[in-house]
Structure 1
Amino acid sequence: MKNVGMKAESYRTAVATGILYAPAHCIELLRNGNTEKGDALKTARIAGILAAKRTDELIPLCHPLPIYRADVEYELFEQHVFITATVETIGPTGVEMEALTAVSLAGLTLYDMLKPHCEPEDLCLDQCKLAKKKGGKSHYTRALKDAIPASIIVLSDTVAAGKKPDTAGLNVLEILQEANFKEIAYQVIPDSPEQLLALIEQQKNHYPLILTVGGTGLGPKDLTVETLQPLMKREIPGLMEASRSFGQKRTPYAALSRGVAGYIDQSLVITLPGSRQGAKESLIAIQPALIHLFDVQKNIPHAGGYQ
């Protein structure tokens, strides 16, 4: 089963459709609710809804999901029934298979309840397919349409002194590259407010996005927030709220992060935790929001100092 533990939850919808071909007199039985087994449309609707809710039990590698809505609708024609299933959830993965399973089981239930009234070759369940889906990476993209530059500043005495390798900053670099950021500056400096201030002064207005890595905790040298927050003229508290919420579902220590986000002049500055996992989770949580912001924002600055 695919690991979806690092995927952010989002509102997801899937619509699937299918067609059951049947003789005209069978369609009339459906219309009147008069098969020998009862009202076939109502029974098949319940079957489809139950199928959506139990898809993970029927298809081996499907994840169990909370189903917030499942419905089956019909359109009756002269010699076929058009079946539509809609399924909705808030989760880390989509509900396409739930919608397809709902259509399939609704169609099979109609088939079962109509077969006493016609020959087997008169019934055919056909064209079961996904009609629409919304949510997740297909709706909330995780990559920029047009590449823009960014900067990563890693704050760590031990990394700067060469006593241990940097993993957190390089992981952030990899995520930004996959998200279509380009010309990414990468620096490692000690836990020094003075050096951080100097770099921010040098880079602001040159990079649309500046990410710091480290210094957001409660240690005596964790001063990134105290250094940068006074410079932020427009904070975006929702970004760090989302990061902490995402992280806290994976470790209770995420509540201790004091990270902040906001604009320093023309640059969006975001302070990420110094641990590899903490930085990764924080950035993954806010990545769709960042991509949306930069895709719609105009007059963003460029590396090199021109605008």
Structure 2
Amino acid sequence: MIDVSPKPDSLRTATARAILRGSPAAIERLRARSLPKGDALEVARASAALAVKQVPLLIPYCHPIRVDWVDTRFEMSVDTVTIDVTVRAVDRTGVEVEAMTGAALAALTIYDMLKMIDDTLSIEGVRLLEKRGGKSDHAVTAASPLRAAVLVASDTVAAGTKEDLSGRLLVEKLTAAGFLVAPLLVVPDEAEAIAAAVRRWADEDRLDLVVTTGGTGLAPRDVTPEAMDTVFDREAPGIMEAVRDHGQRRLPRAMLGRGRAGVRGRTLIVNLPGSRGAVADALAALLPGLPHACLMLRGEGHADDPRGGAQVS
């Protein structure tokens, strides 16, 4: 199975469709709910819900998920019944296979309950109609490429006695996310050196994003959060709330982080820990929303709400 443990939970929705074709007489009996075995539509509705919840037992590499909602709808013509199954979950992976399995089993259930009166029945495929949630919902289009910089705050890295891993990871991941990243900068754990570098990137280079790594813990030389006192015009507390919540689900020591996030001019600034693992966890939580935040600061508008206008019941 694919390891989804680094991924944050998000709202996932998928709708799949199956079409069953039969004789007009059989479809009319289905519509009238007068079949020998009972009401096939209601049994199929229950079958879809059961099937969705059994997917990990049926398909080996599908992850168990916490299904929050299954909705099954039927539309009948003279000789067909169209079955649409929508599945919703707040989890780390999508629900497309669950929706398709639900639609398929609903169609098979109706087939089973109609077959004694119609030997021409056929199921004409199962397909995905729509999926929402995950990385595809967070794609943004900027008028010009988003620009970023990474600052490593570390006495030992600055002195050359320790290799930088976190800064390089940040550059790699931000570049992969579409940012144009300035050359990596390393400074010692000195508040003014940290603040001066961030101010220069915000005021002179007018970057969209500055990410610092290091100096956010409880050690005497961890001064990055204090350095932001002379940098931020305003705080963005929700960003680090997301980082700490995500981190603490994986490592209890994440509660010791004091990193801050805020804005200077039109630049978003985020303080991350110095540990490579902590940076990787933080990026899993942050990257879905960082480009959108940068576009908001540019004044380029809000992204569509991935929840859409879907009915909730």
TM-score normalised by the chain length of structure 1: 0.93
User: Secondary structure at 1:68's aligned position in 2?
Assistant: strand
CA distance in 2, matches of 1:210, 1:182: 12
Structure 2 equivalent of residue 160 of structure 1: 158
Number of positions where the alignment pairs a residue of Structure 1 with one of Structure 2: 298
Corresponding position: 1:88 with 2:91: no
CA distance in 2, matches of 1:35, 1:295: 57
TM-score normalised by the chain length of structure 2: 0.91
Once the two structures are superposed, the pairs formed by residues 132-143 of structure 1 within 5 Å of their partners are 132-141=130-139
User: Secondary structure at 1:116's aligned position in 2?
Assistant: coil
Structure 2 equivalent of residue 262 of structure 1: 262
> C-alpha displacement at 1:148, in angstroms?
2.1
Structure 1 equivalent of residue 309 of structure 2: none
User: Secondary structure at 1:57's aligned position in 2?
Assistant: helix
CA distance in 2, matches of 1:72, 1:89: 15
Structure 1 stretch displaced more, 193-202 or 256-265: 193-202
Structure 1 stretch displaced more, 217-226 or 3-12: 3-12
Q: Say if 1:75 and 1:82, in contact at 8 Å, map to a contact too.
A: yes
Q: Say if 1:20 and 1:124, in contact at 8 Å, map to a contact too.
A: yes
- Which of these residues, 173, 176, 183, is aligned with residue 175 of structure 1? 173
CA distance in 1, matches of 2:192, 2:293: 30
CA distance in 1, matches of 2:157, 2:99: 50
Structure 2 equivalent of residue 79 of structure 1: 79
Call closer, same or farther: CA 1:292–1:299 in 2, change over 3 Å: closer
Call closer, same or farther: CA 1:193–1:278 in 2, change over 3 Å: same
Summarize deviations over 1:2-49 as a string: whole Å, max 9, x none: 111111211111000110001111111111222211111111110011
The letter for the 2-side match of 1:93 is T
> C-alpha displacement at 1:145, in angstroms?
7.2
> C-alpha displacement at 1:204, in angstroms?
2.0
User: Secondary structure at 2:195's aligned position in 1?
Assistant: helix
- Which ranges in structure 2 are unaligned for 5 or more consecutive residues? 301-313
CA distance in 2, matches of 1:295, 1:38: 56
Call closer, same or farther: CA 1:92–1:146 in 2, change over 3 Å: farther
User: Secondary structure at 1:185's aligned position in 2?
Assistant: coil
Q: Say if 1:150 and 1:185, in contact at 8 Å, map to a contact too.
A: no
Structure 2 equivalent of residue 245 of structure 1: 245
Call closer, same or farther: CA 1:232–1:295 in 2, change over 3 Å: closer
Q: Say if 2:209 and 2:294, in contact at 8 Å, map to a contact too.
A: no
CA distance in 2, matches of 1:142, 1:52: 32
CA distance in 2, matches of 1:142, 1:244: 25
Q: Say if 1:142 and 1:288, in contact at 8 Å, map to a contact too.
A: no
CA distance in 2, matches of 1:24, 1:37: 19
The letter for the 2-side match of 1:129 is R
User: Secondary structure at 1:17's aligned position in 2?
Assistant: strand
Q: Say if 2:195 and 2:231, in contact at 8 Å, map to a contact too.
A: no
> C-alpha displacement at 1:183, in angstroms?
4.0
User: Secondary structure at 2:3's aligned position in 1?
Assistant: coil
Call closer, same or farther: CA 1:5–1:145 in 2, change over 3 Å: farther
The letter for the 2-side match of 1:180 is G
Structure 1 stretch displaced more, 7-16 or 263-272: 263-272
User: Secondary structure at 1:117's aligned position in 2?
Assistant: coil
Once the two structures are superposed, the pairs formed by residues 1-307 of structure 1 within 5 Å of their partners are 1-119=1-119, 122-141=120-139, 146-205=144-203, 206=205, 207-298=207-298
Call closer, same or farther: CA 1:213–1:143 in 2, change over 3 Å: farther
> C-alpha displacement at 1:127, in angstroms?
2.7
Q: Say if 1:15 and 1:130, in contact at 8 Å, map to a contact too.
A: yes
> C-alpha displacement at 1:256, in angstroms?
1.0
